[in-house]
Structure 1
Amino acid sequence: MEIGISRVHYPVTTLGPGNRIGIWLQGCSIHCEGCISMDTWQFNVNKVSLDELKKVLNLWLPQCDGITISGGEPFDQEAQLIEVLNFLKPYSKSILLYSGYSFSHIENKQPIQNRLIDVLISEPYDHTKSQTKRLLGSDNQKIHFLTTLGERDFRAYLEQPSTKKLDVQIVGDTVWMAGIPLNGMKEIAEASKRDKVTISHSQATIKNN
């Protein structure tokens, strides 16, 4: 079985407590306006075998503190997602998953009903809402503690003030960032112009009303 993967990275320190494995799935049908990861929307690209993904994860799982899964939209590849979650669960590392679907749309899905996810962040990103809560792109999004492991790892972490920091990796002319930047990539790109640096990015266009 193949799975669409945008990228996999370790360590990620901005999307949950500790040093986490970050898995970004490729493909999203929701297309939230203002999304900072529009490059992850396209389906049928960046496909790898699940066996290859598992080999990479096995390198990091012994030392990681947890796993954060985002996208793209993980539930748009539900069968592959279940396979990955079943592989990860025996390691007893907390699994945080972001979904742009409303909780009512996915609450009966197998990963949630079988508690394969420890913490779920649901609801579509809304660029018109405020952004004050830790780990949330917009304050309308909801955090669900699905297991005692998730509650143990995340409850105190989420009560701390948001630091708004980013993990940054530079490969050639590409700068890759993990985290939730305040106000998104457009402001970062505009600010860089003061230093005569031009940044192109994949944040979705926000329509002018």
Structure 2
Amino acid sequence: MNPKFSQPSLDLPQIPVGHLNLIGYVNESEVNGPGCRAVVWVQGCLRHCPHCFNPASWSFGINQLVAVESLACQILSNPRNTGVTFSGGEPFWQAPALAQLARQVKAAGLNVMAFTGFTLEELRDPCGPAGAIELLQELDLPIDGPYIESLAVHSPNSPVSSSNQRLHIFNLVRVDSPPLCGEEDKL
């Protein structure tokens, strides 16, 4: 199966509408994007990048089912959070539910960042993951591109893990002077 454009078509457990299948959640982090933010790690990735920092997230099996509404309330309960980061696994395999979550936290003034192994070009392709465009429209700071070990960036100040990855700033107004360098991009 080509992870670029194929939906996972294995006999996988269904995630109920309005829910996310997570491998983890942190209510407060200062190392997963600008400012203080919640971090949502989704379960499931087809890429299996060598030296992935989170190989336990590759399986699409049900891990922790969480209602989007409940997770939004949990994120918004921390007054220190200025944003939320989606990571994984691959967030875009759960794009519709993450778009719903992003809309809720953005309505409360938070910014939304995501790490994806897809490129923006792949996500914008009509054969891309279901709901990809919907989620892209909600993101303020996507970082795209697969992790490639031979291009690894070994700097704690870099927003990317390998030099092929790109930081895109879709909405600078929502991000308080991010200490990140990237290219501005518009949908």
Q: CA deviation at 1:145?
A: 0.6
The match for 1:40 among 50, 57, 64 is 57
Judged with a 3 Å threshold, the aligned counterparts in structure 2 of structure 1 residues 106 and 17 are, in CA distance, closer, same or farther, namely same
Larger Cα Rg: Structure 1 or Structure 2?
1
Give the equivalent residue in structure 2 for 1:140: 164
- In structure 1, list runs of 5 or more residues that go unmatched: 160-209
Q: Is the 8 A contact 2:111 2:175 kept in 1?
A: no
| Aligned-partner Cα distance in 2 for 1:80–1:31 | 23
The match for 1:16 among 18, 33, 41 is 33
TM-score, normalised to structure 2, is: 0.75
The match for 1:93 among 107, 110, 121 is 110
Residue range with higher mean Cα deviation, 5-14 or 101-110: 101-110
Where 2:92 maps in the other structure, the secondary structure is helix
Q: CA deviation at 1:149?
A: 2.4
| Counterpart amino acid of residue 52 in structure 1 | S
Q: CA deviation at 1:138?
A: 0.7
| Aligned-partner Cα distance in 2 for 1:138–1:31 | 15
Richer in helix (by share): 1
Q: Please give the per-residue CA displacement for 1:43-76, whole angstroms capped at 9, x wherever unaligned.
A: 132222223323322322x331221111111100
Q: Please give the per-residue CA displacement for 1:99-153, whole angstroms capped at 9, x wherever unaligned.
A: 11012111361222x3x10011000000111304612111110011111225643
Give the equivalent residue in structure 2 for 1:56: 74
4+ runs deviating over 4 angstroms:
none
| Aligned-partner Cα distance in 2 for 1:123–1:30 | 11
Judged with a 3 Å threshold, the aligned counterparts in structure 2 of structure 1 residues 135 and 8 are, in CA distance, closer, same or farther, namely same
TM-score, normalised to structure 1, is: 0.67
| Counterpart amino acid of residue 127 in structure 1 | E
Residues matched between the structures, number: 154
RMSD: 1.8
The match for 1:74 among 88, 91, 96 is 91
Judged with a 3 Å threshold, the aligned counterparts in structure 2 of structure 1 residues 150 and 55 are, in CA distance, closer, same or farther, namely closer
Where 1:153 maps in the other structure, the secondary structure is coil
1:149 counterpart = 2:167: no
Q: Percent of aligned positions with the same letter in both sequences?
A: 25
Judged with a 3 Å threshold, the aligned counterparts in structure 2 of structure 1 residues 139 and 11 are, in CA distance, closer, same or farther, namely same
